[in-house]
Structure 1
């Protein structure tokens, strides 16, 4: 656009021919930009900035597939990012974690409380969940949820209402279920005279208040369960180590083809003395 001259009127230095030339140039330029915007992948169509963090005119956002989704509407699967996984889907996944990792050593309580399933049970346990910082591939809240869901399941150590497990994040507690890197697991288990480095396993560090779940095993599982039974393997880990804490020792396979006792060292083997059991995550698998 032109600007006012000092006399207060619009400048008259542009002749009619020059003005027509400017209009022609502008018209060609605009048409060129429109044509460029129509080309898939062009800078004009992909790099134009919008207000409010990328929302376009009319309150719509691109879904990444060339379509638009009205504000407040749910995007179709695969559009606009990765759909949120369910709890069961997360628990079924393996995770990348170094078998020789020693993380920060800082064991951080997971916030939140959850009541046990049997408020009138004669044996009441209060436990905390801690997760070592520096292991970004593991969600502490998912781990805490897994612990509480497992211990509250009627197939677990509630023994038909004889016990109940309440999760706390502060105050008094009976034990701390702790997810720790392999190096930190070894340090805490050694406090109770246990060597977890041979098979990179978990432990109940009985001379401390910590039930230690080895994060590498949590992330990668064991050959005895394989990659398709990660959720079940994680439940077994929790039940086995908490089982030690509430007073149970190791068990062996009772007969060929039977379900393995949860206190059998299933991370290491399912066959002992020539007898092979089926993998099993629960103390009372028949309860429901």
Structure 2
């Protein structure tokens, strides 16, 4: 491309303007100029010649510069430059990070600011460069890079101060996830926990019937209920042990508690402090109160000449140490008492222990009277046209 006599580059060649210090390059894009560039209208003043490393026209831009700005060439397409010339080492440009774009290692194109192309004082000549073609794309790429840099700075600032909203979105997402998956965050949807069930009282347990067959015959083996229940009174003391036949599936502890409470009640044989009863689990007691199946009860009662198979009743096997309580009656009760199972069980204990204490059967004498505790109330309440009332106590008036 021709060069004007005053040293001004031909029309259409881009000029570099800026405030950076000049650094001349050997064999630069505009040929060899030893001194400063000539001002418009001033003849060129040659300076000391610089060493050259290739032969070529003394003036005019290098061919690779012309190629770089060809109209149909994409400066951002990967390509290899025609050639590179080794240049002498130059002082490092402190602004090279923003002014030096050169071809990178993978063949991409970067911008190189030629300090020797002209100084800040050189006035612009020629017409403005067209935004079409290679030059337009080059400047568009530079502008895009600048915009990208500004965006990167803005985004970096937002990340630094947390203003990008990601924390808010994360918290919102976390809250939504906890809202849908964590029941502790939605107390309005938590099921109401069931109220704690209070354990049954002694009276409640004694007022329930339990399933047990009328013809059941157990193993005949017994377990003593462990523990001691001290005699509460000061009268004549009787010791006893509570045995429960194995396999009955009844509450032996409840049975033992019922015996102790019943016998030491003032309406029972402990009336007026005459007697007191103490439960033991070892040693030799005065008697053993035994809860056994109907079959086992019949066997033990037969040892004392008593037949309990008729009406499926209990007995005091006086020839042995055992007072037998029929488990079927304990679990199911008897017709004269109906559903009043608690007083019926108290009557069973008082009646059979009464035999052990030497009392025999008796009946009521008048209509409407309480049946004596030694009446066979499992079998009947009324007798001989006399209407009696059920009664579990030896001294019902206390």
* Structure 2 match to 1:132: 245
Displacement after TM superposition at 1:104 (Å): 1.9
Displacement after TM superposition at 1:102 (Å): 0.9
* Structure 1 match to 2:281: 169
1:140-155 pair list within 5 angstroms? 140-155=252-267
Which of 338, 360, 366 matches 1:249? 360
- Tell me the C-alpha RMSD between the 2 structures: 2.1
1:253-282, Cα deviation, whole Å (9 max, x unpaired)? 121110000000000001111112100000
Which of 74, 94, 100 matches 2:215? 100
1:30-62, Cα deviation, whole Å (9 max, x unpaired)? x99x97x79xxxxxx9xxxxxxxxxxx9xxxxx
> What TM-score do the two structures reach when normalised by structure 2?
0.52
Which runs of 5 or more structure 2 residues have no equivalent in the other structure?
A: 1-175, 185-189
Distance in 2 (CA, whole Å) between partners of 1:178 and 1:251 is 24
* Structure 2 match to 1:196: 308
- Runs of 4+ in structure 1 deviating by more than 2 angstroms, as ranges, are 65-68
Displacement after TM superposition at 1:194 (Å): 0.6
Displacement after TM superposition at 1:124 (Å): 1.6
1:115-161, Cα deviation, whole Å (9 max, x unpaired)? 12213x1x22110111111011x111000000000001000001311
1:80-137, Cα deviation, whole Å (9 max, x unpaired)? xx54211110000011001111112111110111112213x1x22110111111011x
* Structure 1 match to 2:156: none
Which runs of 5 or more structure 1 residues have no equivalent in the other structure?
A: 1-30, 39-44, 46-56, 58-64, 69-74
* Structure 1 match to 2:27: none
1:171-190 pair list within 5 angstroms? 171-190=283-302
* Structure 2 match to 1:232: 343
Distance in 2 (CA, whole Å) between partners of 1:251 and 1:116 is 29
Greater relative contact order (CA < 8 Å, ≥ 6 in sequence): 1
Q: Does 1:158 align with 2:270?
A: yes
3-state SS of paired residue (2:336): coil
Q: Does 1:66 align with 2:179?
A: no
Displacement after TM superposition at 1:67 (Å): 3.3
Distance in 1 (CA, whole Å) between partners of 2:280 and 2:307 is 29
> What TM-score do the two structures reach when normalised by structure 1?
0.71
